[in-house]
Structure formats: structure tokens, C-alpha cells
Structure 1
Amino acid sequence: MTITPLPAQVGRRCQDTLNSLHSTVYFSPDLEIGLADHGIDDSMAVYLAGRSAALGPVGPGVVTAAFYGFHHELIARHIPGVWAQASPTTVLELRLRAADATLRRHLGESLVNGPEMAEAAELALRAARAGVRAGRPMYSAHADQPVPEEPHLTLWYAATLLREHRGDCHIAALQTAELGGIDALVSHSASSSGMPKEIVMSKRGWTEEDWAGAEDRLRVRGLMDAEGRLTAAGVRLREDIEDETDRLDRAPYEALGLTGVTQLTELVGVFAGTAAATGAFPAELLQIFAGR
């Protein structure tokens, strides 16, 4: 079968929409409540356990490598200790329950049980199954998990796979560009689409000294100016990284074709918009994206 390449950034736009739906679970209290019953009550431990559980009861080194942008000491503070409190299998079960509760709460039963959900789930799962396992550890680990039966959970599962597939591809592009974890975060924060430094610093475990060191390295490469803004070369590098990520991440969306990708983007856009309108995301995050 001949696969026709898609227009530029079509897959990226689809994945951005899917990722919005996937990420509702990170801002929901449901997983924290479930893991609190197992003695895990630190929000970072909840995040790290929930996202890395598909890898199995691994140590901090594996998670640091797979996540890329987190300080190793932050991860080692919680991994592998969390596995003594809740096994990866238990965490995965609780995470799926959290996704179920979150989507039902923010989308309502009519959307959860509607024909559009079933159609979106079928399209997203077809795309997710077309991902490439080799060199993509997070995607591959999640692809090993069973597919949920209910359409809204099938969609969330597929969105998770597609999110991690792009993340794995993005790490490969960052490595080609010789941007380590903190350097990648600093350069992205300085870009027009980047998250503010204060949000990044609160979640990834890096220090002010780490951040300043990354800025110095970027200046030596001519990618950042004295005021902490990206130079023209820095802007081009960030654009090249996203384009290379698109290239590496193209297989799932080419498998759907332009019509399928467009339909999936539109369907999930309605779900993600409904979730946003019903309070699934913090107000400060919505303000950041609205200003872009």
C-alpha cells in the first residue's frame, strides 16, 4: 500500500489536540486520591508513578532517561520507592480509573457514550497501532498494555500512546540537536511557545544554578542573547527540532491519511474544548495558551 505524505504539521496539530485530552488526568485529583490510599501523597510521586508505571518496577535511571527533562535527583527521590507502596500494575489500574472519572466528569455521559466518541476511539487506536516501537521506549511500554473496552477509555489510551510516541521522537530530535534535558527546557521556555520558567522550575527539579549554566551553554552556541532571548539561530534550531519531530512521528498519522487525521482532530477538539470549558485545566494554564 502506498502512503501519501501529509501536509506539514497536520499530524502535529492532531497530536496537540489528543495530548490536551490525555493530559486531563494530570490535573485531576482522582489519581492522587487513589494513590493516597497506598500511602503515596506527594504530587510529584503521583505524576512519576503514573507516567512511568508502564515501564514496570524500574529504577530512577530508566525513568530519567525516558523522561529526559527531569533532574535525576528529583526522580530518585520517589523512584523506585513508590513501587514498595503500589505496584506498577496497581498504579496503571488506578490511572485508568482516574481517566474514566475525569472524562465522565468533564465531558458528561452524552459525549462519553455518543457515536462521535466511538468514531474518535477507532481512528485514534488505528493511528496508535501504526506507531514505531524501535527507539521509542515510552510508546512501546504503553503499547504493551491492554486496550480498554469502553470507547472513551480506548480514546484516552490511544491518546496516551500517541503522546508518548511523539515524546520519544522529540527526545531523539533534541539529542541530534545536542540539547540535553535542561538545555532543551531553557531553550523551549525562551521560545514563543514555551512554558514560563517558574512553571518549569517548579516541576522538573532543576536549580537556578542549573538554569544559568544552560543559558551560558546556549549563549556559547549563539542560540541565546545576553537578555535570555533566543537569537535567530536559536529560533531556527527550535523550529528544526519540531520539524524533525514531525518527521519521526509521521507514521501514525500517515496511516490514517488526511481525511482520517482531519476528522480525528475535529472530533477530539470538541472533547478537549468541552473539558477546558468545564474546568479540567488550571486557569493559569489556559491563560498562558490563550496568550499565544
Structure 2
Amino acid sequence: MSPVSRAAVRRCHASLNALHSTVYFSADLGEELAGYGIGDPTACYLAARAAALGQVGAGTVTAVFHSFRHDLVARHIPRVWHLAAPEAVVAARLRAADATLRRLLGASLTAGAETAEAAQLALRAAGGGIGPGRPLYAAHAALPVPEKPHLALWLAATQLREHRGDGHIAALTHLSIDGLEALVSHSASGAGMPKEIVMSKRGWTQQDWSGAERRLYERGLMSTDGSLTGAGRRLRRELEDTTDRLDLAPYERLGQRGVERLTELAEGLVAVAVRAGAFPQALRPFFTGELGASGGGGR
């Protein structure tokens, strides 16, 4: 089996992450969880991603998500578990993924041979992940695989997404970059989402953001104008390279040709989903590869 290039892994991750993320930009997840009394969009997101871990507290969620302000997390966790058990939330998210993908992809593509092939490849890769030190990956890897191919693909994409994310956080920790500094440096690199969107969704204030910029400036990683210095760009490259290296194991199961085929299939599905309105216009570049794939900037 041919060695897998890190560039191929990064591109494959980008397409699978986009497929996974469709559920967070549809109304289906909110509608599923509204029946349990979980109505706040942030509460829906936190509960849906954390549910596989079980009835964990705010400290655990803040730690494994890495880039959310703790008081935002604590506003919703563990309150959500009093409204819906984690097992119920896991099931609700899968139902939401089912509804979202069926609507975006259409009946023929959802049940088509290419989706089934992509599911087989993604499951094979996801089964080769490294669990120790990767709590979100390990939790999702323990979930039962759905029978329907589009849902099996979505779960495998989720597992692979969390595998890379857990490794990305390990790399950030090794480089002494905290969650907000990761977001700030990612935005400054030109590959991250707009600052205003990041702050509103992760709970950070302008004061928090300026403080992170100051810390990066004091380390010689950011200029006074908010751009990255040469050292800052080198650190971001080191971060992404380390993330790539830590994420190789699942894809080595497929070999270069298998990874390229999975990427081809996933990108085709994502393209259909994007045309169907899967993501807001302003965020499409981050899910279509226009800005390049990355480790995630800090989750």
C-alpha cells in the first residue's frame, strides 16, 4: 500500500469535516432538541458534541472543546443533562443528521452507491484511529454504526473529525497556545473564520481577544497591526504539520489511492450540499476548500 501524503490527509479531512458540520447549520438539530426543552443554539451545539462523553460537567467540556469561554459552557452544561440524557441527545443528533443529509443530497444520492462506497472507506479509516489521549474521538468511536450508508458515513466523518481535533489540541498544548490564542492566530493567518463570528459563537469578548493578541505580541508571534510575524507564521506551520503527523494513522489504512478516492467522493457530496444551501454564504469558503484545509485553529 502506497504511503499517504500529509497534504492528501489534510484535504480529505476538510471534506469530511464539511460533511459532518452540515448538521450544525440546519434547523434539524434545534428542532430535535427543542422537544426536550433545549432551545438555545449554543446549548444545542455543546450538548450534541459532548453527549457521546456521557453526563460530563462544564470543566470537561471546556477542556475537550478547548476554544470556548468557560462561563459560556457553564451556562448550559450540565443543565442540558437535566433536560435530556446524553443517550437521548446522541440519538437526536443522528436523527437530525439523517434529515439534513436527505434534504441536502436528495433521495437518490443519499442511498446511492457512491455514498455507500464513501461510508465503507471512511469507516475503515475511522477504525484505525488512536484512542488514548483522544477523548472525543474515543467516545464517538464507541457509538454503534448506523445501518444506513449515509448515516454510517456521517458518523465515520464525525469520528475522523474528532480524531484530528483531539490531536490538534495536543499540538496546541505542546506549543503552549491556549484556546483563544489559537483562534486569534488562526484568524490572523487568513485561514480562520472572521473574528466577529468566532467571538460570538465561542463566548469571547473584545477584551479577551485583545488580551490574547497582546500575549501573542509579547511572544513575538504577532505584530502591532494584528498580523502574524514570521515567527507566528512558522508556529502556525509547525502546528499544522504536527496535527497532520498525529492524524496519519486512520488514513494509512486506506493508502494514498484510498484516501484520494474517499476525498473525491466526499468532495462530490459536499459540493451538492453546498449548492443546496448547507452553509451560510459568508462561511462557504471555510467548508469548500477555498482557504485550504487546516487543523481547525483550536477546535
Taking structure 1 as the reference length, what is the TM-score of the superposition? 0.97
User: Do the aligned residues in 1 keep the contact of 2:2 with 2:255 (CA within 8 Å)?
Assistant: yes
Q: Distance in 1 between matches of 2:245 and 2:163?
A: 12
Match of 1:75 in 2: 73
Q: Which residue of 2 aligns with 1:21?
A: 19
User: Which residue identity does 1:219 align to in structure 2?
Assistant: Y
CA deviation string 1:200-227 (max 9, x = no partner):
1011111111111111110111100000
Cα displacement string for residues 97-133 of structure 1 (whole angstroms, at most 9, x for unaligned residues): 0000000000001111111111100000000000000
- Go from structure 1 to structure 2 and tell me whether the alpha carbon gap of 1:112 and 1:289 turns closer, same or farther (over 3 Å shift): closer
Contact in 1 for aligned 2:30/2:44 (Cα 8 Å): yes
Partners of 1:208 and 1:112 lie apart in 2 by: 43
Structure 2 counterparts to residues 1-292 of structure 1, below 5 A: 4-286=2-284, 292=291
Asked if the contact 2:193/2:283 (under 8 Å) is kept, the reply is no
What is the DSSP-based 3-state SS (H/G/I as helix, E as strand, rest coil) of the residue aligned with 1:9?
Answer: helix
Q: Which amino acid in 1 is paired with 2:234? A: R
1:121-172 per-position Cα deviation (integer Å, ceiling 9, x unaligned): 0000000000000100000000111001100000000000000000000001
SS at match of 1:77: helix
How big is the alpha-carbon RMSD for the aligned residues of Structure 1 and Structure 2?
A: 1.2
Residues 197/91 of structure 1: CA separation in 2 closer, same or farther (3 Å cut): same
Q: Could you tell me the percent identity over the aligned residues?
A: 61
Question: Which structure has the higher relative contact order (CA within 8 Å, separation 6+)?
Answer: 2
Letter in 2 for 1:191: S
The residue identity in structure 1 corresponding to 2:105 is L
State the alpha-carbon separation in 1 of the partners of residues 271 and 126 from structure 2.
22
Letter in 2 for 1:271: L
Change (3 A) 1:91 1:289: closer
Q: How far off its partner does 1:287 sit?
A: 5.4
Preserved CA contact (<8 Å) 2:146 2:152: yes
Q: Compute the displacement of 1:5 (Å).
A: 3.3
Measured against aligned partners, the alpha-carbon deviations of 1:45-72 in whole angstroms (never above 9, x if no partner) come to 0000001000001100110110000111
Segments of structure 2 that go 5 or more residues without pairing to the other structure are: 292-299
Q: 1:289 to 1:58 in 2, by over 3 A?
A: closer
